[in-house]
Structure 1
Amino acid sequence: MTSYTLGQKYISPTKPERGVFPLDHEGECKETMLKYMLCLSRNDNKPSLCQAESKDYFQCRMDRNLMKKHEWEDLGYSNEQQRKT
């Protein structure tokens, strides 16, 4: 069968919004992600109780270029929270 493309619009890709980052296809941060998910399930899905695990997960992603490096304050971690971890 022949496909006709005349008259179709070309859709150009757009840059992802902040907070959208590549999937971890190689499973480089799978262990830290599982620790975070386990923490959430143990703490009634309250992310405030799993900040150390989420910070470890973000650090893993930043170290492996799966997300852009950000300051911790930009990711919602205050200086007080950093002292606790």
Structure 2
Amino acid sequence: MLYATLEPRYIGMFRFLLEAEDNLGYATVVDKYAAVLKIIFSPHQEREMRAFLAGMQQTIPFEVMERPAAQTETR
């Protein structure tokens, strides 16, 4: 599992491109306001997924993360 952050306007295109890639994986929205997506894929296809995401960064600007940074609450 990986995470991606991107501009909210690219969420639909990101999901479309990922799901069109021969069932390599799928993405679900974790935070629609911060535009954080969780990318789910089979562990034995991690190399293929990372290669695909690197290529997709040529089309859509996004950042891949192992997991999102914890947000601290200020009061």
TM-score normalised by length of structure 2: 0.36
Question: Higher RCO, 1 or 2 (CA under 8 Å, sep at least 6)?
Answer: 2
Task: Name the structure where helix makes up a greater proportion of residues.
Answer: 1
Q: Which has the higher strand share?
A: 2
Q: TM-score, normalised by structure 1?
A: 0.33
